[in-house]
Structure formats: structure tokens, C-alpha cells
Structure 1
Amino acid sequence: MASRTPGYELRFGPPMVPVVRTLIFINVICFILQLLTKLTLQSPLAELYFGLSPELVFRGWVWQLVSYAFLHGSFLHILFNMLSLWMFGSELAEMWGERAFLKFYFFTAFLGGIGTITAQFFGIPQGIVVGASASIYGLLVAYGMTWPNRELLVFLIFPMRAKYFVMIVMLMVLFAQGERVAHFAHLGGAIGGVILMKLYTGWRGTKSTLPSWSLSRYLQKRRFMRYQEEMAKRENAKTKVDELLEKISKNGMESLSRKERKFLNEASQKYFNE
């Protein structure tokens, strides 16, 4: 059920897209395996190997920087995260496309892991972190930046625009109390969301779609920029050489300073002997 007016939309939930359905399915399966492991082995083996433990990451268990996002601490934990993934991720995935959505999802999870181990490195104990919350907070940020004036029903009761809802959630991240709250994972995911949205839409851009990023296109852009810089240097050098040659023709070689002679020699070797 939805009601649309210009600038915002009142809704209870979007249609679920395949990539979001797949991620929810994987998270649920992983949670079930967690429970079975605890019941059969009487040990949190899944959390020990695949949860995010900063001490183990520092020893080389780098897969934990992503794998932790597919484990959860309780039924309510996974329920809240999967509902959020459905409600805030489905429209973004439909707009961006599956590949771009997955890149966003994994990058924000990874940055949440980086935030956790960074806090540990600076002496803030983190314990073992699990949950998809870093990616969820990244998606919340992306949702609020894409549709800032869309009106949401918070707790199905209070209407609130998306941008204000995201601001309140971010403040809750900063001031939430409790040892089991992964503050720095949440913060890292939110920062990752801002970074990707700004990279894809531009720092001055408004609402737009998220294109598929590729390393080859990035490197090609860098090569083109270096080519432009080199051409600008050549043009400047040519102008300077012409001025010095004019000076020589009028006053002779002795009129050049040591610095001007050095420049003329280097420019002739670099730009005019090819």
C-alpha cells in the first residue's frame, strides 16, 4: 500500500528484489548453522572463526573483515537487520542494479570491519563483532541521501522524512550505550555509505543513480588526466622556449641566466628531441 505526493512517499514496504532476497536467504542459513554449531558442539565455533575478532585479523585472519557480516547474535538481531535490508535495500538495488548493490553492500561491511579493528588498535576493546549492521547503516545513509524528503512511518505510527530519520539513527549510533553494541562497525558502515554515494554521484550532485564502478575505467581516467597534464607542461615549455630564443636572438646567449640556460637545455632534451 502506498500513497504518493511530489517529493515524498508514504509506504509500508517495497517489493523484494532478487539480490536482496538472496542476501536475506544467505544470512538466515548462516544464522541457522550458527545455532546448530552451538547445539551440537556446545561451542560458538562459527563466531570464533568467522566473527570479527580484531586480534585474529591482526594475525592474518583477514576474511573476518567481511564474513562477520553474515553472522548474528540473536533472533531479534537478524530480524531487525533483515527487515531493514528489505525495506531500505530493495529500491536501491532495483535502481542501481545487482552488481553495484553488492559492491556497496560488501564495501560498507568491510569498512565496518575496518572501523572495528581501528578502534581496537587505539585501545578501545571490541570483543567479537557479528552482524550485517554496518551494511544496513550504509544503506540507510544511501536511502536518506537518495530520497531525503520521502516520508517514512517510524514504528508504523510516526511520519518522518527519511533525512531526519537517518540523522536520528546516526545520533543513536554515536550515543548508544552497552558493550554489545558495535558502535565502530556501525559508524564505519555509515561512513562507507557516504563515501560511495559521493564517489558515484559527485560531491555537488543531487539524487542520481549509482553506476557500476570498474577498475579499468578508473585507470583509463587516470591515464587521460596524466596525458592532459603532460600536454599542458609541453605547451608551457614551448612558450617559455620561444621567449628565451627571442631573447637570445636580440641579446645573445650571454644574456641568459644560469637558470634559463638549464631550463632551455632540459626542455630541448625532454620535449624537442623525440
Structure 2
Amino acid sequence: MASRYPGYELRFGPPMVPVVRTLMIINAILFLLQMATKLAFHSPLVELYFGLTPELVFHGWVWQLLSYAFLHGSFLHILFNMLSLWMFGSELAEIWGERAFLKFYLFTAFLGGVCTILAHFFGIPQGLVVGASASIYGLLVAYAMTWPNRELLVFLIFPMRAKYFVMIVMLMVLFAQGEKVAHFAHLGGAIGGFLFMKVYTGWKNTKASVPTWSLSRYLQKRRFMRYQEEMAKRENAKTKVDELLEKISKNGMESLSRSERKFLNDASQKYFNE
């Protein structure tokens, strides 16, 4: 719904992007499969095999570090995550490209799983973890870093800048109570979102679209830095040589120390015989 003010647009959610739609469909199908197996076998078989259980990962079930992110514990759980994926992920997928967005989604999910495993390893018990929340919190961080001053309508009533909204959400998660809250998965996803943004957009310019790292640009930069260093060495050597030549003109060659003679000889061969 457009506004009468130029350059201002009011709408509920962005257009759907294919990669976001595909992820939502996969999550929905797997959630229905979860419900069906619970009804058929009276046991959460899908969660037991594909949810994240630290003890099983330590015994080789490493696929759980990613598969957990496509399962959910309840209808409200998947509803909140899929709405967030659509509303915050679609615009990021548009500016990054679908392949980069998918990498981001899987990376933040994986890091959420890794943080859960580390917490368990260091003595903080972690139960069965399911849900796309790690990726969602990564998306929130990336969204706030990309458009920090964009206003969001919280509960469709309160306007709030994206950066403040994400800060509040993070604090709510940090202080949330209950054994079923996967604090470390959320934390890992948020950290993953931050790191991904910094790696792909640079430490200063976080508003640009996601570029790819270039080996040729890196090598060119290294060559330029070496050239600058060499020029600085030449300038310093020239200044020192001028000082030694002045000393020789006043007091003779015998006034130079052994190290000064060596420096003069080396500098003349390296810098002044071209």
C-alpha cells in the first residue's frame, strides 16, 4: 500500500523470493512429516534422528548440525520462524542473490548447532534442539546491519528502527526462561550473521550488497603494499647516504664506522647502481 508521500511506502512484508519460498515449503513439509509420525508411531522419530542431540553428534551423527534447523516443535514455533524468514529474508535474498542467501542461511544454522555442541561440551546441558531460529536470528542481525535506520512497525502499531528492534529481540532471547529455549543456538546464529556480514561486506561498509572475495584484488593489494614499503626504504636510504656523504666531505672516509661503511656500500649497490 503506497503512501501519498514521495519515496515512502507502507506494506506488509516484501515480495516472495524463490529461495525463501523453497525453504518455507521444505520446513512446512518436514513439520507435517513430524506430526504424521507422532500420530502413527506415538513417538517423535523424526526429531530423534534429525533433531540436534549433542551426545549423538559426538558419536558421529554430524548431519544433525544442519538437519535440526528444518524441524520445529509446534505450530506457533514454525509460524513465527517462517514469517520472520519471509519478512526479513526476502529483501536480503534480493540484494545478495539466492545462492549467497542460501549459504548464509545454512552457515548460521550450522554455527547455531556448533554453539549448542560447545555449550554441552563445557558442561552446560543441552536437550533436543529443533527449529530454524538460529538462521532467523542471523537474518535479524544481517537486516539490522544492512538497514539500521529503517523503521519497522512493531505489532503493526509502534514504529521502531531496525537496529533497536533487533537489540530488544536479542535481549529478550538472552533473558528468556525455560528449558526449551535454545539460547546457544540463537547466539550462534546471531554471531554467524554478524561474521557473514563482516566477511562479505567489509568491516566498514556494511550497507553494500554482498560482493565476492577476489584473489586477484588481494594479490594486487599486496604488490602495492610491497611497492610502498620499498619506496619508503629507498627514501630512508637516500637520506642516510646524504648524511654519510656530508660526513665524509667534512672529516674524510676514516671518520666512518665499520657499520656506516657497510651501509654505504650496500645502499650504493642496491639503490644507486640502476
User: TM-score w.r.t. structure 2 length?
Assistant: 0.80
Asked if the contact 2:197/2:206 (under 8 Å) is kept, the reply is no
Q: Which amino acid aligns with 1:18?
A: P
Measure how far apart 1:42 and its partner are: 2.2
State the distance in 2 between where 1:187 and 1:138 align.
9
Q: Separation in 1 of the partners of 2:136 and 2:199? A: 19
1:27 and 2:39 aligned: no
The alpha-carbon deviation at position 163 of structure 1 amounts to 1.2
Q: Is the 8 A contact 1:106 1:135 kept in 2?
A: yes
Alignment partner, residue 14 of structure 2: 14
Aligned residue runs from structure 1 range 1-274, under 5 A:
1-3=1-3, 10-211=10-211, 213=212, 217=214, 219-220=215-216
Secondary structure of the structure 1 residue equivalent to 2:16: coil
1:159 is paired with a residue of what secondary structure? strand
TM-score by length of 1: 0.80
Deviating more after overlay: 65-74 vs 197-206: 197-206
1:110-134 Cα distance to aligned partner (Å, 9 max, x none): 1111111111111111111100001
Residue 64 of structure 1 deviates from its aligned partner by 1.1
For residues 236 and 163 of structure 1, do their structure 2 counterparts lie closer, same or farther at Cα, with a shift above 3 Å needed?
Answer: closer
Q: CA deviation at 1:237?
A: 9.0
**Which segments of 5 or more consecutive residues in structure 2 lack a partner in the other structure?**
266-274
Q: What does the per-residue CA deviation read over 1:193-225, in whole Å, with 9 as the maximum and x for residues that have no partner?
A: 1111122222111421123x46xx3x5555556
Q: Take 1:195 and 1:203, find their aligned partners in 2: how far apart are those partners?
A: 10
Q: How far apart, CA to CA, are the structure 2 residues paired with 1:78 and 1:207?
A: 30
The structure having more radius of gyration, on CA atoms, is 2
2:2/2:8 contact within 8 Å kept: no
Q: For 2:236 and 2:207, how far apart are their aligned partners in 1?
A: 46
| Residues in 2 aligned to 1:4 and 1:27: alpha-carbon distance in whole angstroms | 38
Q: Which shows bigger deviation, 97-106 or 234-243?
A: 234-243
- How far did 1:41 drift? 2.2
Contact 1:11-1:152 within 8 A present in 2 as well:
no
Determine the C-alpha separation between the residues in 1 that align with 2:138 and 2:4: 25
Conservation of the 8 A alpha-carbon contact between 1:200 and 1:210: yes
Give the aligned length: 266
Alignment-mate amino acid for residue 105 of structure 1: Y
Superposed CA deviations along residues 50-78 of structure 1, whole A, max 9, x for unmatched, are 11111122222221111111000001100
How far apart, CA to CA, are the structure 2 residues paired with 1:59 and 1:149?
46
Counterpart of 1:26, as a letter, is I
SS in 1 for 2:207: coil
SS in 2 for 1:11: coil
Query: Which amino acid counterpart does residue 101 of structure 1 have in structure 2?
Result: F
Tell me: CA distance 1:6–1:150, structure 2 relative to 1, closer, same or farther (3 Å). farther
Give secondary structure in 2 for the equivalent of 1:88.
helix
Q: Considering only aligned residues, what root-mean-square deviation do their CA atoms show, in Å?
A: 3.5
The runs of 5 or more residues in structure 1 that have no matched partner are 265-274
Higher relative contact order (CA 8 A, sep 6+): 1
C-alpha separation in 2, matches of 1:195 and 1:174: 19
| Letter in structure 1 aligned against 2:59 | R
In 2, the alpha carbon distance for the partners of 1:6 and 1:65 equals 47
Q: Which amino acid aligns with 1:115?
A: C
Write the letter of the residue equivalent to 2:134.
Answer: A
Conservation of the 8 A alpha-carbon contact between 2:26 and 2:70:
yes
Cα distance in 2, alignment partners of residues 167 and 8 from structure 1: 25
The alignment partner of 2:164 has SS state of helix
CA distance in structure 1 between the aligned counterparts of 2:7 and 2:179, rounded to whole angstroms: 40
Q: Report if aligned partners of 1:201, 1:208 keep a CA contact under 8 Å in 2.
A: yes
CA 1:146–1:241: 2 relative to 1, 3 Å: closer
Which residue in the other structure is 1:272 paired with?
A: none
One-letter amino acid of the structure 2 residue matched with residue 160 of structure 1: M
Q: Distance in 1 between matches of 2:55 and 2:190?
A: 23
Cα deviation, residue 3, structure 1:
3.9
Listed one character per residue, the Cα deviations across residues 158-213 of structure 1 (whole Å, up to 9, x for unaligned) are: 221111111100111211111100011111111111111122222111421123x4
